[in-house]
Amino acid sequence: MNCYLCEKEIDTIDIGAHRKLIDKCASRYMCRDCLSRELGWSREYLDGVIKMYRERGCMLFPPIK
């Protein structure tokens, strides 16, 4: 699956972030770079938000190992 804005290949973390922050029922997704630009955040800030949700056990993201 690819980002619908830049066509970059996306992974489960990209999908989880899009569902958590944009639309839980989405069928197309943005990569983290495009998502951070869309939200007006730096990529580092977005990664921190994702880490926080993963540490709290959010089921939209794979668990931290």
Q: Return d(Cα 9, Cα 27) in angstroms, integer.
A: 15
Predicted confidence at residue 63, as pLDDT, reads: 84
Segment 4-59, tens digit of pLDDT: 999 999 999 999 999 999 999 999 999 999 999 999 999 999 999 999 999 999 99
- Closest alpha carbon to 58 in 18, 20, 11, 12: 20
User: Does pLDDT of 65 surpass 80?
Assistant: no
Predicted confidence at residue 33, as pLDDT, reads: 98
pTM of the model: 0.90
